[in-house]
Structure 1
């Protein structure tokens, strides 16, 4: 027992010595250093522009970012990859979305134009247009403009103006006019489509037209210059200064002639029109080619073919009935004395 007491006293004396204190402190330092070495790890921190590696014991990524000397701004996001010991900072960028007369600034950490619209709570209509593609990646300071587009149809009843058809005739004195058919305006219903962008009409197009009443053209006869034939010959003819043919087989002079304008096919079976006349076929056979003019050459009916006949052939003083294109012309012609040349 006495021996144990001596041993304890010896230990107390050793503990009180400086050598022991220094030795103990060294042991504690080694133990602590070993503990720190075991807990600390290297972590890479990057914000896309700067990349730093720090030795940290923190599990809190924000503490690690602070150790790396980087700061977090409003709307910045972080991505932590523990397996790779990597912390990435996604810096927020601003994107301006303009729609409906208002401008909205949204903060984006990447993404597309569609994401920016969603964040700005802007929904595209069926016909709306946008200044960028929806799947385009956003960039810092980007401006995206949405134009609201709609279409509006309306109908309008419009007037169809009649046109005037002028026909020259020798039955009137030169320059004189006479309406043979009065013109009438028509109507049509037109459907238009307006393109409206942000409340303003930018384009108007015609969608359809429906004629509800056709226009009736006005027909006018106008006196031609003296000596102008109503019916031209289908071949070249040599005429003198009074529009009389130089070559002919026979001439009937100063014959009383009248006019008509009805019928489509003559007694000969030939089709009637300007350039056909009615005669007594016993005097002038059907198919005979003729040239008809006044004695002074001012009125020229011109080339004609004997194609029809009428009651006048039975003993009346009418020698020939000339076909005109309108009833008005026939009336204005009335009855005139003309020379009829047989040319073929």
Structure 2
């Protein structure tokens, strides 16, 4: 009977304390579950590395501090620093890079992680007028070389005096030989005052458009006298001709001094070189043409010469002395009918 009592008395404390132990164990397990579930996995993506962290709930700023990632001037982070973290969050860090803004002869450097051209210009405090040009466009991304060019477009007015061309009038003159032309009066250009609207890009003119035009002075025409006379008197003889030319005339003879060591006394056309033979440029006076040369007389275009080009002739004499005496002179040549 005593053993039973002892057993009964011994069981009482055990029964009382078992439920309390179970309760404490359950509470501890729940607390551990809460602690475990409150931790979060986040990833930090930076240009130089990626960091994987398991953290307690905090802010983006705290996570960067924990990872020892600092932000410099112009760096950016997404989400923002004051954003609360959540499980699976990806935090992106963009490092600032130099962007060069060129406007005219000025170069501004902006350190920024911003890649939109328009926003970079805002950071650089560059104001744009309506027609200013930006390369690349303000809605595009900053190019790989980090250069943005701003072309400032401006307008101005320029007034200049421009010449008005004069006309040429021809008047017949019966006292002047046919084929000859004389200037009776030189023309003078007129003046017109023109105002232009000028477009400039970075100070350089790229286009202009006429705005107004005012005539200041009228031009005066140039007046030419055109000869119509077809007959002249020389040595008491009337000479009728088709046209007259003014040429530079030299002289030669058949000798070797004038025609070289291989001179044979014959002309380019095969006729003997003698007085009355004229060397000409066939493009000006055709070979075989009968002519009258002032100061020389009648002749025939029957020879050529390497130096006889254009308005030049070479008259032939029988002797070297006569050729030397002629020399070089300006004369009229009449093309005979």
TM-score normalised according to structure 2 size: 0.49
User: How does the TM-score come out when normalised to structure 1?
Assistant: 0.48
- Is the strand fraction higher in 1 or 2? 2
